Chain A
């Protein structure tokens, strides 16, 4: 693969896409060199910004014809480098595909283009009494297409599930350039659940060009509590008590003292003074149930040692409570020049043990770690703080960050709960899965993308080539010999 192939794809793009949507000027290309994980940077060979599915499909078809790799990108907010461009490939940006085509209340569905912003779906559905449940912290800027690629979650997935539970159908451009419909308005589409496989595949199986999402009825009542505890142990005990009582809150979020300090510095969210941990608990549902649950939750928090409980009674107060939590990642920038946002999962009951271990890691290494997490489902977001101007600090932080993932794996958890594997964590996949597991996942890749041109190099550590028998390497694969090896 070389300039000749890129030129061929560029020529097709120029024919099909208006001039402003085809970018091959070096300076402008550089504005696309990273996603939300900014320390990986690669300048793509070409950026296309199609206006519709047809234009997008034409570019992918051209990539397929010429063996050129491509990477899809929505808003570029991903935190694992999943939309990191390929140096000899095309970056397909969906930000001009932003139409909400319909909101069908009677079917509880909305049909949107992939570049549509997550929160805009809720805004469009709210007048009908509905909303779109998955709510990643970046929901004001992240796109539905990106959410589909990452199977995005959010604070409320404890009760309502992830993107995979809220997407009914999609038009999908496969890596051979063909457009197919996956799923349907109705559930249980006959055949294999290919849509289920595509959601969360991080752009390695293809690109969605239309997404039909499920809408959720707005609850009759919502109550949000901000609870201050002396320690994370107390906050953890309260969480356990709530779950054991058979209550499924819409969200239970925890922040430790360092994370609270950062949030306070950045947003003046007014979290309780001197708290060793806070919980943000949200209950929703019918008014009668929420009222009863609220009383129980309040009692359980006090029992666990809560010293302050604040209740939001209107949307403004609720927004203030959430502001501290949802801005926590960026807020850490106020207390540390550099930081790594980690994303790991543990069984919820292992929380006290793992937090203690993280604390020990932090102490022994001298690297500060602020903890923000979805306590209800054990999804940790440790923020590993460092100062890159200090020699060796970055490496020390990386080491602590990696050790935290090992902790997650050794407790039967996962290396990522919602940020994805992307470029960043591909190397950790063999710690969580066996070669046989990874080989089997690779079968899916080979079915969808035998040439390996759709977001190559992400998600899997150096996968074997499609058609290759494991353990029997005989010389170079024809594609390798043809100079295409790096696309795998």
Chain B
């Protein structure tokens, strides 16, 4: 089942270049901005449609080229650096909202479409794709490849729960789709689930269809301070066990204290009633409860600068846990300079350690977080970090069922052409 090693291509030969050029209208040399987490591609191919993506992949297959797909590149340093990149497949040219069927509450967009453009289109009919833009400019394809999600995942889940159809280009250039344009559909395997969060290692997503939700008329954030991890847990538990239907339950944490913020959305009359109800629940636990139309500081973004690319960027971690584990996770960070933001309502928080943090200290924090998250049915992964840190620690951590995952990879990409080495277990 293991794949044979492929010979290194020192430079793109003329025949390969010509094959790419005839498959894809826009092929150019790579520049430093095209590097994928420090790894330089030989060329950048920017296809204009699905057929050009397929042609590019066929050319790559014929010439043994490794391919890394990219949307806007907002998360291109996430995960492990690729073992090598010959062709950076820039999907920015696949930028189109193909269809917004408002009456059916669905939208179809090409992979390179910025999420914000999709939101703008569907907002015209007072609808939204209920996935937060966690990094400005992020595309649909990049969001799927990383399963990026923000605060609003508490109520409706992530893109995983909203994707209803997907078209992909395989390693060999074959175009395949799964799902469709209807929300309810159990015909065949749900390939979309496998592609989400796969970091581009199974295929190139070129087109996706999602279910939409109505855009709420009103929204309010109810924020309560917590002086210690137990206090944060008590607030988060009170919020999730309430009947006010939180759209988000966020936690912000630094220096051993922080706040829990609950987002209530809906029609104006209902939201106001729920704000009062929730304030009455949280008040006795926190003393002071604030209500605002604005998101708490940081909102649905990460506690690090997602645009930083240099060796001085922060160490970015993702910690997941069963909801009751919040206090233990926050407690594991006691005495560290960590800043935390994330969804206490779904059990996913992001942790930033300042760039000055030594590798040994990162490793220590990682170990503590892995213990705490594992005790509560979760995991800790390194989302992004300077090369020295990625080299020194286990970026993805232990992954159950890795053998089965390798078998999936072997089937979908037997020659390890797609984003080799970026994912779990070196997949």
Residue ranges of A at the interface with B (Cβ–Cβ < 8 Å): 104-109, 129, 150-151, 153, 157, 161-162, 164-165, 169, 174, 180-182, 184-194, 196-197, 199-201, 217-220, 240, 243-244, 246-248, 285-289, 292-293, 345-349, 374, 377-379, 412-421, 425, 429, 432-434, 436-441, 443-448, 459-460
Answer whether residue B98 sits at the interface, using C-beta atoms and an 8 A cutoff: no
Would B202 and A246 count as touching, CB distance under 8 A?
A: no
Q: Which residue of A lies closest to B188 (CB)?
A: A441
Count of B interface residues, CB-CB < 8 Å: 93
CB distance B401 to A181 under 8 Å? yes
User: Chain B contacts of A413 at CB under 8 A?
Assistant: 180-182, 185
Known: A188-B197, A248-B213, A292-B267. A436 touches B243 (CB 8 A): no
What are the residues of chain A within 8 A of B9 when measuring CB–CB? none
Give every chain B residue within 8 A of A446 (Cβ-Cβ): 411
Given the known interface contacts A161-B161, A196-B193, A348-B104, the answer about A438 and B269 at a Cβ–Cβ threshold of 8 Å is: no
Whether B408 pairs with A439 at a CB distance below 8 angstroms is no
In the complex with contacts A188-B197, A218-B243, A345-B184 CB distance below 8 A: yes
Q: Are A416 and B318 in contact (CB under 8 A)?
A: no
Q: Which residues of B contact A (CB under 8 A)?
A: 101-106, 126-127, 147, 149, 153, 157-158, 160-161, 168, 170, 174-178, 180-191, 193-194, 196-198, 202, 213-215, 217, 237, 240-245, 266-267, 269-270, 272-274, 277, 318, 320-325, 346-348, 373, 376-379, 381, 396-397, 399-405, 407-412, 423-425
Q: Looking at A287, A293, A412, A459, which has the most chain B CB atoms within 10 Å of its CB?
A: A412
Choice from B104, B373, B377, B404 contacting A107 with Cβ under 8 Å: B377
- Tell me the complex Cα distance, A274–B325, Å: 56
Known contacts A190-B381, A434-B176, A460-B188; 6 further A-B pairs (Cβ under 8 A):
A107-B377, A196-B193, A199-B190, A345-B182, A436-B174, A440-B176
Chain B residues near A247: list those with CB within 8 A: 214
Cβ–Cβ contact B241 & A217, under 8 A: yes
Among A108, A379, A416, chain B packs the most CB atoms within 10 A around the CB of: A108
CA distance A414 to B165 in the complex (A): 11
> What are some 26 contacts across the A-B interface (CB < 8 A)?
A165-B157, A185-B322, A186-B373, A188-B147, A190-B381, A191-B405, A192-B198, A196-B194, A197-B193, A220-B243, A246-B217, A286-B244, A293-B267, A345-B182, A345-B185, A378-B183, A414-B186, A425-B187, A433-B178, A439-B174, A441-B188, A444-B408, A446-B411, A447-B407, A447-B410, A447-B411
Chain B residues within an 8 Å CB radius of A433: 177-178, 187-188
Contact between A347 and B182, CB atoms less than 8 A apart: yes
Q: Residues of B contacting A190 with CB < 8 Å?
A: 379, 381, 396-397, 399, 424
Quote the shortest CB–CB distance from A126 to chain B (angstroms). 14
Given contacts A186-B320, A192-B198, A193-B196, contact A286 B277 (CB under 8 A): yes
| B347–A180 CB distance below 8 A | no
- Residues on the A chain within 8 Å of B267, using CB: 289, 292-293
Known interface pairs A106-B324, A200-B190, A292-B267. Does A182 touch B412 (Cβ–Cβ under 8 Å)? Answer: no
Instruction: Check B180–A447 contact: CB distance below 8 A.
Output: no
Q: Chain A residues near B126 (CB, 8 Å)?
A: 246
Q: Is the CB of B158 within 8 A of A414?
A: no
| A residues in contact with B399, CB < 8 Å | 190-191
Q: Is the CB of A192 within 8 A of B408?
A: yes
